[in-house]
């Protein structure tokens, strides 16, 4: 009986220690929201992915800002110099792997934007500019993204002074109708698992480490795009 009791105490002590250690490790406090569409109709269509736009550079940091397309509210903050390129290229790479998706080189959009501004077409709304750019380049659908915060962690994978933080959204716009078919939204500042025990799945996925902001963003894009189902071209 004494040995049994001793064994139970050791087992309880082990699991209590495991819980405490796990709680002191890391997970994220995040929100990934999407408005789903049944299928991404790109089998016979063309998709233009516009470069992400840095909203913090335009409106400043620490500002409560509404998305110009969907109206979701974000708090702006620091955005690293390479944030727009990281998000844009990651989104392009993820969509390139989709069967039936024909991408229009996003670099062509910059010239169209410049020409529109020179013609004083900045009076058009954000959505109208996106639709017009897609129309000029022969796109059926356009993906447009906005980054509000993209702050790198300060520290290492297992000890940080300041965690990574990111906020951005992506929209799929139909060129013919001008309607928004799908929206993906991400807003996260990484925190400890102790602060958010409900995010243990994310904690395990990230192997209990404080991750870099680019890894955080790419993972978020992957999760967002899981809600976009491309039709089988052979069906």
pLDDT tens-digit readout, 203-230? 445 445 667 888 889 989 998 888 876 5
Check: CB of residue 116 under 8 Å from CB of residue 128: no
CB count, 10 Å around CB of 20? 10
CA distance 63 to 60: 7
Decide if 94 contacts 220 (C-beta within 8 A). Answer: no
Range of the domain at 92: 27-225
Q: What is the pLDDT of residue 226?
A: 85
* Structural domain includes residue 7: no
> pLDDT confidence of 235, banded at 50, 70, 90?
very low
Considering all CA atoms of the chain, what is the largest pairwise distance in Å, rounded to the nearest integer? 89
The separation between CA 208 and the C-alpha centre of its own chain, rounded to angstroms, equals: 20
Residue with the larger pLDDT of the pair 195 and 118 = 118
Domain of 41: which CATH number? 3.40.50.10610
CB-CB contact of 151 with 164 (8 Å): yes
17 within domain boundaries = no
Nearest by Cα to 98 from 217, 188, 229, 214? 229
Q: Tens of pLDDT along 18-60? A: 343 333 333 344 455 555 444 454 556 799 999 999 999 999 9
Do the domain assignments include residue 208? yes
Q: Does residue 8 lie in a domain region?
A: no
Question: Is residue 235 in some structural domain?
Answer: no
Predicted pLDDT of residue 138: 93
pTM for the predicted model, two decimal places: 0.75
Higher model confidence: residue 143 or residue 208? 143
1 burial (CB, 10 Å; 0-12 / 13-18 / 19+) is: exposed
Matching residue, tokens 């400043």: 60
pLDDT higher than 60, residue 185: yes
Would you state the pLDDT for residue 197? 43
Average pLDDT over residues 184-194: 73
HEC readout, 156-216: ECCEEEECCEEEEEEEEEECCCCCEEEEEEEEEEEEECCCCHHHHHHHHHCCCCCCCHHHH
**Do the domain assignments include residue 133?**
yes
Question: What do you get for the CA distance between the two ends of the chain, in Å?
Answer: 67
pLDDT at 195 over 80: no
- Is 230 a member of any domain? no
Q: What pLDDT score does 7 carry?
A: 52
Instruction: Tally the domains of the chain.
Output: 1
33 belongs to a structural domain:
yes
Q: Given this model, what pLDDT does residue 152 score?
A: 85
Counting residues of the chain whose pLDDT is more than 70, the rounded percentage is 64
């Amino acid at each position: 009986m004494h040995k049994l009791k001793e064994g139970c105490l050791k087992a309880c002590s082990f699991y209590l220690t495991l819980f405490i250690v796990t709680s002191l490790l890391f997970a994220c406090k995040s929100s990934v929201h999407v408005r789903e569409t049944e299928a991404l109709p790109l089998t016979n269509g063309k998709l233009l992915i516009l470069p992400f736009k840095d909203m913090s550079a335009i409106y400043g940091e620490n500002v409560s800002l509404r998305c110009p397309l969907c109206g979701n509210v974000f708090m702006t903050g620091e955005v690293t110099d390479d944030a727009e390129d990281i998000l844009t290229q990651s989104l392009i790479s993820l969509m390139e792997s989709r069967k039936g998706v024909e991408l229009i080189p996003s670099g062509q959009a910059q010239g169209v934007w410049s020409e529109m501004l020179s013609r004083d077409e900045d009076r058009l709304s954000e959505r109208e500019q996106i639709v017009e750019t897609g129309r000029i380049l022969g796109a059926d659908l356009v993906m447009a993204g906005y980054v509000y915060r993209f702050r790198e962690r300060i520290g290492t994978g297992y000890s940080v002074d300041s965690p990574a933080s990111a906020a951005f959204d992506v929209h799929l716009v139909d060129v013919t109708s001008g309607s928004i078919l799908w929206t993906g939204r991400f807003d996260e500042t990484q925190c400890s698992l102790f602060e958010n025990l409900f995010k243990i799945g994310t904690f395990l996925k990230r192997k209990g480490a404080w991750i870099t902001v680019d890894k955080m963003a790419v993972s978020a894009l992957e999760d967002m795009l899981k809600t976009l189902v491309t039709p089988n071209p052979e069906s």
